[in-house]
Chains A and B, each alone.
Chain A
Amino acid sequence: MDSPYAIEMLHITKRFPGIIANDDITLQLKKGEIHALLGENGAGKSTLMSVLFGLYQAEEGVIKKDGKEVQIKDPNDANDLGIGMVHQHFKLVECFSVLDNIILGVEPNKAGFLQKKEAREKVLALSEKYGLAVDPDAIVENITVGMQQRTEILKMLYRDNEILIFDEPTAVLTPQEIDELMQIMKNLAKEGKSILFISHKLAEIMAVADRCTVLRKGKYIGTVETKDTTVEQLSAMMVGRNVNFHVEKKPCTPGDVILEVENMTVASKVHKNDAVKNVSFKVRGGEIVCIAGIDGNGQTELVYGLSGLEPLKSGKLTLCGKDMTHASIRKRSTSGMSHIPEDRHKHGLVLDYSLEYNMILQRYFEESFTGRVGFLKRHSIRDYADKLIDQYDVRSGQGAITTARSMSGGNQQKAIIAREIDKDPDLLIAVQPTRGLDVGAIEYIHKQLVAQRDAGKAVLLVSLELDEVMDVPDRILVMYEGEIVGELDPRTTTQEELGLYMAGAKRDEVKA
């Protein structure tokens, strides 16, 4: 029996306590096609892929390879079937060379001695065949993100994988690198590889995929040919309603300078160079300023420096006219700085605390929550948490006493936003506030940011998403290798121009 399908997942159902992550989902990947898997966060994409990789066992449904039913009990089975995956976060050994990373786990050897020569030849042949430019002897930590991704792809090809899964591969790339990746994917498909492309970026799917399967809330919505559909149609399938992509906002009326940064330098934790180099800018009340840039160009450290998580190496920081250069985190917070952190699990929440305890994380020491002898005021805490839950529509299983860990990502983020905004700050720093959230939640958060701006607050948004960078702010500052290389007006600039700044191909001498 010669099946047209490389892999078929038929009627897959996988349940977790309280939810059905995959409910009767069917996904058929044709040989030599690029097939997109589209869905919001929490739609069940990751679960489905985990089932395919043998990390979870489905309760119902079958998986077929080339028309024959197969059992995938663990990742080794998946490997044996020729299924390979490029993860969103690369799984590379940073201090190894590209070649060593590619052969890791399948090292060719004779009596335990490595035979790197054969491996090198095979890698070079593969990289030429598919147009994957890499330097096999470069050390991974020194090469660009794009090349790291190509290394990951070569890893799959080196193992002769026929079915390649790309999990949100464009999130970390510059627009130019994204174009290159698209070309590589097309080459791979042409050579007979079958590609599964997981994404929630509609434009990319339209550009590269042949067909697209859409999931929503664990359910199978449908599979469409991309040439017969539109972005609007796909998006409606994904979220179940029409979404307003554009952020509605009134013209900006900047007021007094709230945040002033002068010649700020922050050391890097991972390398010897400074992560933030001599940066100066101002944020005024009533405007949203966005720091744009590719991940890892110093945005994280810039925010650490602003919030006090890392000390400044040099420079000066002024908040509402008060010098905050050496102030503690607590002092900055009580002086009017709110911070929606980049990583809500690392910084934003104490996951094993209840929602109510998380709601007071920045204010627990205030008189309204702590009595004179140091006992917490339980009732005030509960009332306050209930108020925020109600006001910001934070949904959870058991209300205020729900453990933060058990909440969905979007609601966790809402809780953080509620907490930070309710502090009534003068300056709101929001770092990737919509990362990993579905379209509905993104819309809500953007509205909140704009509302803060309209209330005369200063908003500093740090974002990696081009759409967000173009839509939300009033001014864009582009960071590249720790420096601000350009100031752009979102109303007049284009994504292409922004991309050139972000990639370091273009720079102005700006004094913002």
Chain B
Amino acid sequence: MKKLLKNNAVQALIASLICIVLGLLIGYIVLLFINPVGAGGAILAVVKNFWNYSRAALQIKNFGNTLVKTAPLLMCALSVLFAYKVGLFNIGAAGQYVIGTCASLYAALAWGWGWLPCLLLAILAGGLYGALVGLLKAFCNVNEVISGIMLNWIGLYATNMLLANVKESTSPYTLHLKSAAPQAMLPGGGMDKLLGDNANVTIAVPLSILIAVLILILLDKTRLGYELKATGNNKNAAKYAGMAERQNIILTLVIAGALAALGGAFLYLTDFEQWSVTQSSVPGMGFNGIAAAFLGGLNPIGTIFASYFIQHITVGGAYVDKTMYSSQISDLISAIIVYLCGFVLFIKYAINQGLVKTEEKKKNRDNAKGGEK
């Protein structure tokens, strides 16, 4: 048992689970303060998400809807995770996600490109956008958090400007992909059939999981991963060992940018959601990616499940009984749970401390016993 607890992966898993339970608990307590009658039901509604529907068909369909949004979140989480492994905090994932959306939607609607070229363009655009952060960091020593945040806004407004050319004339939304550019819709690849004919569930879901596995392999098994992680853990040592630090920083952010951008394309190359060119805040997907990366224990495989969970909770928030709690409250509860997810590392630390203490106590006890004999 003790040995199991000391295992890093097991610890990460337990820490993540504790975070989730804590988040639910704190959410519950907040609800109790606001309106004690509905607190239990509200938390249950958040956790149940698609199980809130009584009909099986609707359950499956809405499970699909949660998956549709999990794929982009997973990509953003991988983007954050990948950069984090190299010692960079890619808060710019949010903006790279937006740029990916912009590139794929524009190519689809303005130029009539098919889905595959659209995805590739998103990768290219996101990579270039990430490279901007990397170049600034490598050559001007600009902190990636600062430039990332600024580029988030630049990306948002540039996207709004560009996509305004392909929006519906009577609304701020981009044209419906289904009618305006059906060739750019991601193929279902059987996923749609599997999930109650939900046409929005596409190859994006299995693709994102495949990419998570590829990232794991890249980081753990390749020379590039070795170099990048060394740079992340100790950039001085990496420099000392003759690794090209600047090149690695730029390369990392190019990959991270491409990952997040692909996430944007994964969501918007379906008919799930249209981009609103009047939105004035950067979509939360990139920021939730930070929570998902940490909740997943900074492991690509863990991140798959973490992304699903966070999306599950976020969507679940909409099912809170609005007669008891206003919609802001349900957003708040989801936010609390997501926020608590960021505490994984802290919980892990606490577990280790606890282990040390019990071990010492046990030793003391043993010593005392030995003394008696």
Check A362 for interface membership: any CB of B closer than 8 A.
yes
Chain A 341-366 interface mask (CB, 8 Å, partner B; 1/0) = 10000111111110001000110110
Contact status of A349 and B234, CB under 8 A, knowing A307-B240, A309-B239, A333-B242:
yes
B-side contacts of A115, CB under 8 Å: none
B230, B234, B243, most chain A CB atoms within 10 A: B234
Chain A residue with the shortest CB-CB distance to B364: A59
Of B222, B227, B238, B242, which contacts A375 at CB under 8 A?
Answer: B222
Chain A residue with the shortest CB-CB distance to B241: A361
Chain A residue with the shortest CB-CB distance to B240: A347
Chain A contacts with B in 1-42, Cβ cutoff 8 A: 15, 17
Instruction: Report the bound CA distance from A258 to B236 in whole Å.
Output: 27
Q: Are A59 and B237 in contact (CB under 8 A)?
A: no
Contact status of A350 and B223, CB under 8 A, knowing A59-B364, A361-B230:
no
Q: Are B221 and A362 in contact (CB under 8 A)?
A: no
Q: Are A351 and B223 in contact (CB under 8 A)?
A: no
Q: Are B236 and A346 in contact (CB under 8 A)?
A: yes
Check B349 for interface membership: any CB of A closer than 8 A.
no
Contact status of A376 and B226, CB under 8 A, knowing A15-B363, A349-B234, A353-B233:
yes
Q: Are A370 and B223 in contact (CB under 8 A)?
A: yes
Q: Are B233 and A352 in contact (CB under 8 A)?
A: yes
Instruction: Report the bound CA distance from A332 to B241 in whole Å.
Output: 11
A-side contacts of B224, CB under 8 Å: 374
Chain B contacts with A in 211-260, Cβ cutoff 8 A: 221-224, 226-227, 229-230, 233-234, 236-243
Q: Are B237 and A346 in contact (CB under 8 A)?
A: yes
Chain A contacts with B in 170-205, Cβ cutoff 8 A: none
Instruction: Report the bound CA distance from A341 to B241 in whole Å.
Output: 11
Check A330 for interface membership: any CB of B closer than 8 A.
yes
Q: Are A17 and B223 in contact (CB under 8 A)?
A: no
User: Closest approach, in angstroms, between the C-beta of A382 and any C-beta of chain B?
Assistant: 14
Check A329 for interface membership: any CB of B closer than 8 A.
yes
User: Closest approach, in angstroms, between the C-beta of A52 and any C-beta of chain B?
Assistant: 21
Q: Are A376 and B223 in contact (CB under 8 A)?
A: yes
Check B360 for interface membership: any CB of A closer than 8 A.
yes
Q: Are B241 and A362 in contact (CB under 8 A)?
A: yes
B-side contacts of A375, CB under 8 Å: 221-223
Chain B interface residue count, CB cutoff 8 Å, equals 23
Chain A residue with the shortest CB-CB distance to B245: A329
A-side contacts of B230, CB under 8 Å: 350, 353, 357, 361
Instruction: Report the bound CA distance from A339 to B241 in whole Å.
Output: 10
Check A328 for interface membership: any CB of B closer than 8 A.
yes
Q: Are A376 and B222 in contact (CB under 8 A)?
A: yes
Q: Are A15 and B360 in contact (CB under 8 A)?
A: yes
A-side contacts of B229, CB under 8 Å: 350, 353
Chain B 147-158 interface mask (CB, 8 Å, partner A; 1/0) = 000000000000
Check B366 for interface membership: any CB of A closer than 8 A.
no
Contact status of A329 and B240, CB under 8 A, knowing A15-B363, A17-B359, A353-B233:
yes
Instruction: Report the bound CA distance from A365 to B185 in whole Å.
Output: 42
Chain B residue with the shortest CB-CB distance to A362: B241
Chain B residue with the shortest CB-CB distance to A370: B223
A-side contacts of B359, CB under 8 Å: 17
A-B contact pairs, 9 of them (CB 8 A): A15-B360, A309-B240, A330-B242, A347-B236, A347-B240, A353-B233, A362-B242, A370-B223, A378-B221
Residues of A bordering B, CB below 8 Å = 15, 17, 59, 307-309, 328-333, 339, 341, 346-353, 357, 361-362, 364-365, 369-370, 374-376, 378
- Known pairs A341-B240, A374-B224. 19 more at Cβ < 8 A? A59-B360, A308-B242, A330-B243, A331-B242, A339-B240, A346-B234, A346-B236, A349-B234, A350-B234, A352-B234, A353-B229, A357-B226, A357-B230, A365-B223, A370-B223, A375-B222, A375-B223, A376-B221, A376-B226
Which 9 residue pairs of A and B lie closest in terms of their CB atoms, listed nearest first?
A: A330-B242, A329-B242, A347-B240, A370-B223, A361-B241, A352-B233, A350-B234, A350-B233, A374-B222
